[in-house]
Amino acid sequence: MDQRISLINKLEEHHNLTKSEWVDLIAQRTPQLAEALFQRAAKVRQAHYGREVYIRGLIELTNYCKQDCLYCGIRRSNKEVNRYRLSDQEVLECCKEGYELGFRTFVLQGGEDPFYTDERLIPLIKKIRYLYPQCAITLSLGERSKESYQALYEAGADRYLLRHETANHEHYGKLHLDNLTAKSRQESLWQLKEIGYEVGSGFMVGSPYQTIENLAEDMLFLKELNPQMIGIGPFIPHHATPFHHQKPGGLELTLFMIGLLRLMLPKVLLPATTSLGTIAGDGREQGILAGANVVMPNLTPSIVRKNYLLYDDKIGTSDEALDSYKVAKEAIESIGYQVVVSRGNSLNVEICGKVT
Ligand code: 5AD
């Protein structure tokens, strides 16, 4: 126990560990150690962000996807999915409703849908930018070309979420088809940073074939990338994917990783994700207590929501925007935190381009 506590001390002081130290700490975790970690993580989060929790309004733009990631419910081979695309008008209605509820960040998330060319996205982004000059526009639309990232940034997008999924190249290959590589995913992340986006990355916890070494590699990669936001959540099998028989990722390990991330990158934005809320009723609350400080309620119109299923039993699929917001707000307040009406910028502003 003492040696593990001294690793946590080291992490708190130097914000970094070596690969073998990460492996030791993660492999030898115990409930008591997790408790000690969460206390420190809460203190660090409190020092930078107080008891404020930021909200992001999630708008699931399209569930068409040209990719075939083995874990994902909206992969192109899944013929059970009722595919949909939101019109610009529908997106703008989501923004309006979200704005009235207090959201100051809109996240346009979708599969890799070739329908959404730059020519189609640019006018939509410009419109949102014009109508909501004080809001952040976040894109989460998968891998695109550097030129496209640049053009969308110039149209008014400020942030881009693109999980690295796993830093280990071989492991990445076991989760994706050959056309997707860890190399190109990581290059995209560096390009996004270079352009000036506030960048979010992240990984699934307990994805098939993941080892503790892989998790250590994820920590090293994220330390180097130094993104503004890190989204992690447990892997949850989807019945119509090749990984339907695989074991889900654990709540306890996910929470432990959240605590470690808070100590490694004290100012990073850490969402308590929907997948965390799906594997445990109070998963998001536990995520906040472990060091997270963001939640992303869903603003997607309720009629299409049930079609955006990356994994089974996703929570909130029959809610209206207001319900998603209320549930998240109540959960946050029940543990003594507050939802704030703010863009919720990361304090982690070592950005190559503009600081927004
Ligand atoms: N379980 C958990 N998370 C998943 N994602 C995709 N499929 C699953 C799943 N079955 C995550 C990926 C992706 C993000 C949008 O959702 O990490 O980047």
Mutate-to-test residue for ligand 1 from 70, 204, 205, 232, highest number of ligand atoms within 8 A of CB: 204
Q: State in Å: Cα 130 to ligand 1 middle.
A: 32
pTM over 0.85: yes
Residue 275: the pLDDT is 96
Q: State in Å: Cα 235 to ligand 1 middle.
A: 7
Residue 355: the pLDDT is 38
Q: State in Å: Cα 190 to ligand 1 middle.
A: 21
Given the CA of residue 72, which atom of ligand 1 is nearest to it? 7
Q: State in Å: Cα 311 to ligand 1 middle.
A: 7
Matching residue, tokens 């503790």: 212
With b for 16 or more beta-carbon neighbours within 10 A and e for fewer, the 20-42 pattern comes to ebbbbbbeebeeebbeebbebbb
Ligand 1 site: residues with CB under 6 angstroms? 71-72, 163, 165, 204, 233, 235-236, 238, 275, 310-311
Residue 353: the pLDDT is 39
Residue 349: the pLDDT is 66
Please name the fold of domain 2-355. Answer: TIM Barrel (3.20.20)
- Cα gap 331→316, rounded to integer Å: 14
Given the CA of residue 311, which atom of ligand 1 is nearest to it? 10
Residue 1: the pLDDT is 63
- Cα gap 173→166, rounded to integer Å: 10
The residue whose CA is least distant from atom 18 of ligand 1 is 163
Residues of the chain with pLDDT under 70: 1, 349-356
Distance (Å) of CA 336 to CA 34, 53, 54, 135, 299:
21, 11, 14, 26, 24
Q: State in Å: Cα 205 to ligand 1 middle.
A: 10
Residue 350: the pLDDT is 54
- Cα gap 100→109, rounded to integer Å: 20
Q: State in Å: Cα 297 to ligand 1 middle.
A: 16
